[in-house]
Structure formats: structure tokens, C-alpha cells
Structure 1
Amino acid sequence: MKLNAHCDCYDDNSYFLFDKKNQITFFKIHSIEKIGYLLDKSPVVGESFVEFISQKYVKSFDGLVARCFQGKSFNIEKRLKIQDKDDVLLQIVLTPVFAAPDQQYVSCTIIESNRKTSQMKLLDEYSHLASHDLRAPITNILSLSSLLNYSEMESFDTGKVRELLKDINFQAEKLDDIIKMLNRLINKDDAPDDFTVETTKTDSKHIMLVDDDPLTNKLHHMIITKYNKNKRVVQFDSPVLALEYLDDNRPDLILLDLNMPEMDGWAFLRRLEELHMKIDVVIISSTIDPAERVRAQSFKAVKDFLTKPLTYDKIKHLVDS
């Protein structure tokens, strides 16, 4: 019998299953360090919980288990005072499990509430940032961009338009900073090693842009060709059409987006490997998920991972003649 089929619990909890004789029929201890303060010794299948639960808790525990066999359930929290250490807060869930009239059990799940409380605090902080700090620059951007639709804009001189765009850009940077902060909250310890920039610079005269957003492709095309008139830059908003282009052409460099509906960047990279095409690839993505950077490093073709917005400073070591 799998206890987790009967309990609403996390995978990393400790749990026990008792029969009518209060004997253990099954148990799993996730962290003896945490629940060890509740026990006098390590449990053994077949023995009564009276044998291993700390004597100071046996009487109350025995009463709760007896009531569970009568159909009751209990969800209690127990704070254990530990000398010279922080208190340990445990959540203990006792639930009757009636597999059959002659097969009655009580499940006991022990959750480290300190961990759960920490997660809830993280979610609260994340929720506050998303609903308050994040909304502020978004609403400002929407308000500023709506001004572009006013008929009075036709009489604005270039300076006023530049000033308006500067304000929009400032709010967008604030928004980007908040999104990065949110990402750091949930990926505190997952920062991957960065890509090592190769010392040998290749002359990329033929560059392919693959991004399902045509506007992004146009902007990247403008950035590259503004400083390098001699570059041949081809754009594809369909990765499937980009692969067809590779049947008869070999660009020196591919700037590749990841999040595309028809075929994502990962599938595109796998296809390059299947075709044994040795073309340098630089991922240009809006993602700041560290797991994506780690995954990108598993592809030999990927030489760098740059986050949008793309600037010439970010790619000049790749495309400069």
C-alpha cells in the first residue's frame, strides 16, 4: 500500500502507517535530523509507536490515534524547544485510512513547517512585487504609449517625441529590473556559470536571424547593419523556413530565439545536430531563467546566450569585421 495515495503531503515529508494494534506497517523518514526530536529511537516495521515516540508525547499521541480509528482526523502543529538551537516547528497530520472493513490504518504525516512557512513568505513577497511594484511601470508605459495615438502628436516636434520615448524607455527599464528581481527570488541558488567568450573571433559575413517576432528581427537587422554595411543578414520568423534555407546556404552565425510556437529554439538546435551542421549559434532570448542558460550550454553549437534587448555592444565581438 502506498501511503502517499491516501495523504495530501509533499514528497519530502516523513510519514508512517499504523494498524489497529498501533504497529507500524510502513514508514518513510525524510530527515531524521528534523523529526528526531520527536522520537526516542529509530522506528522498525512491526513495533508499536509506543516503542519509538518520545515518552513525553506518547500519551497524547495514543489518544489522537485512537480517535482516528473512530473516523476523526487531526492537523496540529508542535513547536519543539531545542536547547541552544532554533525551535523546530512540525505539522503533524493524522488521517484514518479504511482500505477495507478488516483493514483499518492511521496515517501520520510529519511536515517541517519551518520550510513551509519560508515558502509562504516567498510567495507573499513574490505576490506583492507582482501586484504592486510590477503594475506601476506597466500602467505608466500603457499611459505614455497611448499618447502616441492623440491627434495633437502630429504637431509635436522631434524633441518632444524623443522626450516621450525616453520616458517610456525609463519605465520599461524599471519593469525589467523588477522582473529580474522576481526571478532572483525563486532562483536564489541557481545562477549558472556564464558562457566563456571565445578568444578567436570569426568574421561573420553571413548572419541568420531566427525569431518569430518580425519586429525583433527588423530591430536586430538594423543594429547589425548600422555598424557593418558589408554584412549579409537574412531574417526568418519561421524556424521551419530557416531550416529550408540551410539546405542550400551556410551562414557563419545564427542568432536564435527560444520561445517560438511553430518550433522552439531547442528543437531547432537538435535539428542542426541531426543534420551535422557546424554553424555557430548565439541565443538571443528574453528569458532570464538560469535553467535555460544551463540547458543551452549542453549544445556545442551555442557560443553565447544574450538576453533581450539586443545592443550592438553585446554582439560586436561576434559580428565585427
Structure 2
Amino acid sequence: MKLNAHCDYYADNSYFLFNKKNHITFFNIQSKEKIGYFLAKDPVIGESFVEIISQKYVKAFSKLVAECFEGKSFNIEKRLKLDDRDDVLLQIVLTPVFTDPEQPYVVCTVIDNNRKSNQMKLLDEYSHLASHDLRAPITNILSLSSMLNFPDMESFDTHKIKELLSDINVQAEKLDDIIKMLNRLLNKGQVVQDFIGDVTITDSKRIMLVDDDSLTNKLHHMIITKYNKNKEVVQFDNPVLALDYLKENNLPDLILLDLNMPEIDGWNFLRLLEEQNILVDVVIISSTIDPAERARALSHKSVKDFLTKPLTYDKIKHLVDN
């Protein structure tokens, strides 16, 4: 078993592996920006840790390492005072490794607690948005939708029903805005743009819808045929059946494909299209607003566009006009 395997857990931090002679046998430095204040020089395999650690810390550090070889462990938080900038807060973890009784080792892990603190702040902000701001429109939508079950609902005229649907739509837009805000928070402000721009999509007379949500398929079918009654639309809530259809029938001009599906997700669906040499233009219609997933989708040659749900008349017009 490789000794550095014991350090894999600390892959996001810097760590060193010492033998009984205090020589460095393995090390990984994640970032020298902060750990550089703890070290006197760059580490070298085979060199003693006494040579690399700042002299002001050598005596105390050597004592702790010696106790680690006796079976003890230490978790120390060290604040390094700096004259020209904010203090650096490091967490130093010393752990004995006894894979071989004849050759004991000590792992020294140095964790940047400033980064850890920033991550915790991010999680706290995310948690607050999710539990408070996000919950508010959700509860409003649930309350408004429950009105559809009221006994006197049958007596509602069209105007009142439209008002109810309008209220639900307002709350849904608030909910969507909050989810986008959460995504920007996690993706450092990156925003998914709906349209690629200059794309080449054939005249799509026959369109296939592939989405495991049958309601989504029905809504998209309704919007497409409402915009252009000449469109022939086939819909599948099972991607396996969609692939079977493609093998046995004339190919559609365009496939509107969801990404998050059971059995065969959108990624595997695209892969199978390529493996089976099924050449059809694909437009991703997904609820995801993750920039990484959009970039991944557009790396496929068959994918001509990436649209976020809901599919609107403007987006349909964009597809048809292209």
C-alpha cells in the first residue's frame, strides 16, 4: 500500500510525510501563498523537516512530531502575525501512520483556515437563502395552488382563474430568481445565457421531445403546435423508447432533449446517438442553470443550442426562425 494514499483525504490542503529520522518522504503543497509563512524554504524529498520549517517553530514542532511517533495525535490552530497584512490562520494536524511497525511515519497536514472560514460563510449564506427566501415563494405557490381544490372553485369565472394563475406565476418568477441567485453564489457570478447566437438548425418540420416529465412534454407540445400548426411532434417520457423509435423510423429534424432523466440521462443519450451514428440536431431543454453543464453540452457536435426551462414562445420562435 502506498504511504501517500493515507494523505489523499487531505488533497485540498498541503501535507508532508516524515519518517522516524524526520526526513520528508512525500509532500504536496496546495498553495504557497499562506503556507509559505510557516516554511523557511521549499521542501525537498529526503531533507529533514528541521531545514524547511521557520526556525521560530522548529523546537515546538520537533517535540510534537516525537510524541506522534509514540502514538499521539495533535490538532493545533496557529495564527501567524504579519506586519503588512492580515493575520494568517493555519490549522496544523499531526497524525502517526503505522502501516509497518518497523517504519512508522507522521503526516503533517497544514489547512488554510482562512479559506475554510470563507467556505463556511458561503454555506451559511446559501443556507439562509434556501431556508428563508426560497421557502417563502414555495409556500405561497402551495397555498395558491391549494385554492384549486376549494368547493366553490367551480363557481369561479375565467377572470378570477386568470388572476389566480397570474399570482402563481409571480411567485414562481420570484422562486426562479432566487434559484438563479443561489447558482451565481456558487458559480462566482457566472450567468447562463439562453441563446448561442449564430447556430445552424435545419428546417425543423418533425420534432422529437425527450423528457421524463410527461407534463413538460405536453406543455412543450402545446407551445410548439400553437406557434406553428404545421409542426409534427412526437414525445417520449422514456429515453429508451425514444432511441428505439429513432432506429425504426425516419429521423426527426430536431430533438429537444432533457438532461436529468432516469435509466438513460441526457449525457448517455447524446453518447448513444454518436455511437450509433444517428445524425440529428439536438437542442438541450433543461432546468439546470449550471454553466459547467451548459459548456459540457455544447461540446457535443450534435448539440446546436442550450435553452433553460421553461420553454417560452420567444424561445420557440428562435428555434423555428433558425
Task: Please report the TM-score for the alignment, with normalisation by the length of structure 1.
Answer: 0.91
1:220 corresponds in structure 2 to 220
- Structure 2 CA distance for partners of 1:317 and 1:6, relative to 1, 3 Å: closer
Where do residues 1-321 of structure 1 align in structure 2 (5 Å cutoff)?
Answer: 2-6=2-6, 9-188=9-188, 196-198=196-198, 202-246=202-246, 247-320=248-321
Q: Matched residues in 2 for 1:100 and 1:296: separation?
A: 48
* Cα pair 1:3 1:107 within 8 Å, conserved: no
Which deviates the most, 275-284 or 126-135? 275-284
Q: Matched residues in 1 for 2:244 and 2:307: separation?
A: 25
- Structure 2 CA distance for partners of 1:5 and 1:205, relative to 1, 3 Å: closer
CA RMSD of superposed structures (Å): 2.4
* Cα pair 1:224 1:319 within 8 Å, conserved: no
Deviations 1:49-80 (A, max 9, x none): 22221111112212222332333221111122
Report deviation, 1:185.
1.6
* Cα pair 1:195 1:297 within 8 Å, conserved: no
Tell me the secondary structure at the aligned position of residue 99 of structure 1.
Answer: coil
Tell me the secondary structure at the aligned position of residue 36 of structure 2.
Answer: helix
Identity of aligned residues (%): 78
* Cα pair 1:201 1:317 within 8 Å, conserved: no
Which deviates the most, 36-45 or 87-96? 36-45
- Structure 2 CA distance for partners of 1:146 and 1:54, relative to 1, 3 Å: same
The unaligned stretches of length 5 or more in structure 1 are: none
* Cα pair 2:199 2:305 within 8 Å, conserved: no
- Structure 2 CA distance for partners of 1:257 and 1:8, relative to 1, 3 Å: closer
Amino acid at match of 1:295: R
Q: Matched residues in 2 for 1:30 and 1:262: separation?
A: 38
- Structure 2 CA distance for partners of 1:213 and 1:42, relative to 1, 3 Å: closer
- Structure 2 CA distance for partners of 1:14 and 1:320, relative to 1, 3 Å: closer
Q: Matched residues in 2 for 1:110 and 1:3: separation?
A: 18
Deviations 1:257-314 (A, max 9, x none): 1112132222222222233233221111111111211111121111111111110101
Report deviation, 1:19.
3.1
Q: Matched residues in 1 for 2:263 and 2:17: separation?
A: 49
Deviations 1:80-128 (A, max 9, x none): 2233233222110012223344333322111111111111111111111
- Structure 2 CA distance for partners of 1:57 and 1:213, relative to 1, 3 Å: same
Tell me the secondary structure at the aligned position of residue 10 of structure 2.
Answer: coil
Deviations 1:233-266 (A, max 9, x none): 2222222222233222122211111112132222
Amino acid at match of 1:88: V
The unaligned stretches of length 5 or more in structure 2 are: none
Q: Matched residues in 1 for 2:200 and 2:284: separation?
A: 19
Q: Matched residues in 2 for 1:17 and 1:55: separation?
A: 19
Q: Matched residues in 1 for 2:35 and 2:219: separation?
A: 58
Q: Matched residues in 1 for 2:206 and 2:47: separation?
A: 74
Report deviation, 1:200.
5.5
- Structure 2 CA distance for partners of 1:190 and 1:242, relative to 1, 3 Å: same
